[in-house]
């Protein structure tokens, strides 16, 4: 559907859990986090009902995320059910990759066509420092296995921040050299624990890459549903992408809405504005009524994020694993 600012909204990111098997320093505290209870989290039936209304409103693409989506019990069954909804054309997944290798075949068979795997370092000790788990080898193995799967497209997402891992940019870019894997460098956003890190801009990252590889060539074909801008490096099998929400605001073309694990329809990552769909469903709202209130909410999607502002009653103050990344 089209919102009041003439943006076509066709993409829903669903957080299926706020739990995670990692504790990335910019996303979740190491200890003391209280996760949603079984009753608080949306059931599969509730997620499906919401997806059916979303599909009626023209949402055709679903991304499953979290927390870590692969820790949710019977996740593959959920993928299958969403895939069966009329109007849903594509289901994709964002994962830290730790549990991916064993589930890959079933995920693809259930309908996942693209997988984004998050990886911020290629150094084993640094991986453990960032995520608090010694899991680098497992993730690299999952990337390698997924890259060879004929029916799934892989992207690696690397959050880059100053004095955190900008020295890894060249090494991470090499992942796109021999395999048709796109690597996307993500500017850290001032959300949750990410506020403690310093953003390094897309232009600064390009400078680092160009010093080593020469001029990057813009790649203008569409690759996925997101705001990433892609470039080519001569001789590389995959593309190099940048998601630069901070240095190049792309809100004007934003095509997405989000559903949190506890059933809140979020109209913007950085805003608390939205609708408590779980409450409405548990009060007995019908599918048709749900579609109507979702249409009204989506139409009023906020104009843009407010990353530059320190505070405001509508500014999201939750951590990323609770919002759904
Ligand atoms: N657990 C899964 C994973 O790590 O891919 C899915 C959820 S995670 C929150 C999704 C993505 O959000 C990850 O790639 C992570 O690096 C990114 N992320 C978390 N906090 C961020 C921040 N403040 N700015 C930019 N990206 C962030
Ligand atoms: Fe977990 Fe993903 Fe957050 Fe890391 S970024 S703690 S893997 S939800």
Q: Indicate if ligand 1 lies below 6 Å from the C-beta of 190.
A: no
CA gap 296, 83 in Å, rounded: 25
Q: Indicate if ligand 1 lies below 6 Å from the C-beta of 94.
A: yes
Mutate to test the pocket of ligand 2, among 24, 120, 322 (most ligand atoms within 8 A of CB): 24
Burial class (CB in 10 A: 0-12, 13-18, 19+), 286: exposed
- Name the DSSP class of 34: P
Q: For the whole model, what pTM was predicted?
A: 0.95
- Name the DSSP class of 2: B
20 appears as a binding residue in the annotation: yes
Distance 99 CA to ligand 2 centre (A): 13
Contacts of 90 (CB under 8 A, 6+ apart): 60, 61, 62, 113, 114, 225
Looking at residue 60, what is its pLDDT? Answer: 97
The ligand whose atoms approach the alpha carbon of 157 most closely is 1
Q: Indicate if ligand 2 lies below 6 Å from the C-beta of 68.
A: yes
Report phi then psi at 204, rounded to 5.
Answer: -65, -40
254 appears as a binding residue in the annotation: yes
The ligand whose atoms approach the alpha carbon of 135 most closely is 2
Q: For residue 28, what are its two tokens?
A: 């979740």
Closest atom of ligand 1 relative to the 157 alpha carbon: 14
Neighbour tally for 214: CB within 10 Å: 10
- Helices marked H in the chain — which ranges? 44-56, 75-83, 100-110, 124-131, 136-147, 169-173, 175-178, 202-213, 277-282, 287-299, 320-323
pLDDT digits (tens, 9 = 90+) for 56-115: 999 999 999 999 999 999 999 999 999 999 999 999 999 999 999 999 999 999 999 999
Per-residue pLDDT of the chain (325 residues; tens, 9 = 90+): 898 889 899 999 999 999 999 999 999 999 988 899 999 999 999 999 999 999 999 999 999 999 999 999 999 999 999 999 999 999 999 999 999 999 999 999 999 999 999 999 999 999 999 999 999 999 999 999 999 999 999 999 999 999 999 999 999 999 999 999 999 999 998 888 999 999 999 999 999 999 999 999 999 888 877 889 999 999 999 999 999 888 887 788 888 899 999 999 999 877 888 999 999 999 999 999 999 999 999 998 887 776 666 556 566 677 788 877 7
How far lies 107's CA from each of 19, 77, 147, 322, in Å?
20, 9, 14, 24
Looking at residue 318, what is its pLDDT? Answer: 78
């Amino acid at each position: 559907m089209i919102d009041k600012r003439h943006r076509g909204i066709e993409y829903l990111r669903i957080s299926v859990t706020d739990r995670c098997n990692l504790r990335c320093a910019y996303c979740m505290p190491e200890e003391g986090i209280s996760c949603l209870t079984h009753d608080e989290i949306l059931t599969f039936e509730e997620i499906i009902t919401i997806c059916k209304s979303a599909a009626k409103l023209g949402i055709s693409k679903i991304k499953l995320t979290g927390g870590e989506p692969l820790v949710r019990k019977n996740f593959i069954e959920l993928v299958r059910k969403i895939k069966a909804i009329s109007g849903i054309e594509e289901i994709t997944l964002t994962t830290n990759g730790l549990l991916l290798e064993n589930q890959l075949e079933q995920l693809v068979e259930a309908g996942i066509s693209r997988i984004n795997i998050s990886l911020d370092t290629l150094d084993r000790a640094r991986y453990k420092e960032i995520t608090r788990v010694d899991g680098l080898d497992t993730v690299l193995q999952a990337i390698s296995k997924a890259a060879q799967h004929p029916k799934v497209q892989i992207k690696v997402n690397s959050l880059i921040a100053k004095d955190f891992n900008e020295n890894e940019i060249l090494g991470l870019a090499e992942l796109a050299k021999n395999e048709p894997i796109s690597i996307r460098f993500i500017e850290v956003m001032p959300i949750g624990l990410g506020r403690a890190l310093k953003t390094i801009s897309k232009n600064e990252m390009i400078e680092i890459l160009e010093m080593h590889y020469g001029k990057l060539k813009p790649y203008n074909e569409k690759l996925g549903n997101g705001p990433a801008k892609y470039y080519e490096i001569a001789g590389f099998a995959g593309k190099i992408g940048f998601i630069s929400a901070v240095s190049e605001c792309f809100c004007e073309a934003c095509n997405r809405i989000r559903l949190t694990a506890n059933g809140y329809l979020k109209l913007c990552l950085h805003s608390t504005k939205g609708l408590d769909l779980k409450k409405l469903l548990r009060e007995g709202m019908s599918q048709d009524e749900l579609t109507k209130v979702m249409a009204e909410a989506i139409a009023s999607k906020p104009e843009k994020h407010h990353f530059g502002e320190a505070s405001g009653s509508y500014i999201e103050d939750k951590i990323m694993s609770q919002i759904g990344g």
